[in-house]
């Protein structure tokens, strides 16, 4: 967050510097309001760009073996451009490198999900995934001891989580 604030101020100073340079080249013919307007537009543009590209920048920065299973996008009336390009605000990533199996229940996988949200700390949530029944359950001591005791919730057939976890 601090680096984004610094980048926003740097964009404003850079735009003001460009207008100052243009004003010198044109021998003072630019209006007096051009410099603060350029700085403000640059700062707003930088902030909007930072917000709109958060999801893609975060997904690109995930380590090897961690893949995005779902991205939640939102639109808001006070950000009218989000109706054309919805803003990614949350993501669910799966650590495919650490998927574990239980020999007693070979169709069930134990996987770590990472819940990422803008301006929030990342949460690690272990989950049980049943690849045949296409269900998931929160991990608990009882569920680890006996997967049949878990509170299973259905997943849709097109769920990316199933594709990432259950591929052979």
- C-alpha angle 116/61/9, rounded to 5°? 85
**57 in any annotated domain:** no
Give the per-residue pLDDT at 105. 82
- pLDDT, tens digit (0-9, with 9 covering 90-100), for 142-164: 777 777 778 889 998 888 999 89
pTM comes to 0.82
103 in Cβ contact with 97 (< 8 Å): no
Domain total for the chain? 2
Same-domain status, 68 and 12: no
- Residue 59, in any domain of the structure: no
Cα–Cα distance, 14 to 16 (Å, whole number): 5
Q: Give the 3-state secondary structure of residue 48.
A: helix
Domain that holds residue 21: 2-52
pLDDT tens digit sequence for 62-107: 999 999 999 999 999 999 999 999 999 999 999 999 899 877 788 8
153 and 111, same structural domain?
yes
CA 154-65-149 angle, to 5 degrees, is 30
Q: In this structure, is the dihedral angle defined by the CA atoms of residues 121, 122, 126 and 132, taken in order, positive or negative?
A: positive
């Amino acid at each position: 967050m601090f680096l984004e604030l610094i980048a926003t101020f740097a964009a404003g100073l850079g735009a003001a510097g460009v207008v100052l340079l243009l004003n010198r080249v044109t021998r003072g013919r630019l209006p007096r309001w051009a410099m603060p307007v350029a700085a403000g537009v640059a700062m707003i543009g930088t902030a909007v760009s930072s917000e709109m590209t958060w999801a893609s920048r975060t997904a690109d920065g995930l380590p090897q073996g961690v893949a995005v299973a779902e991205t939640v996008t939102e639109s808001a009336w006070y950000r009218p451009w989000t109706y054309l390009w919805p803003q990614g605000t949350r993501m669910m990533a799966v650590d495919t490198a650490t998927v574990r199996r239980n020999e007693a229940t070979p169709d069930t996988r134990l996987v770590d999900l990472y819940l990422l949200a803008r301006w929030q700390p990342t949460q690690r949530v272990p989950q049980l995934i049943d690849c045949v029944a296409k269900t998931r359950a929160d991990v608990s001591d009882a569920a680890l001891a006996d997967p049949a005791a878990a509170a299973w919730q259905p997943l849709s057939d097109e769920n990316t989580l199933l594709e990432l976890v259950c591929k052979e």
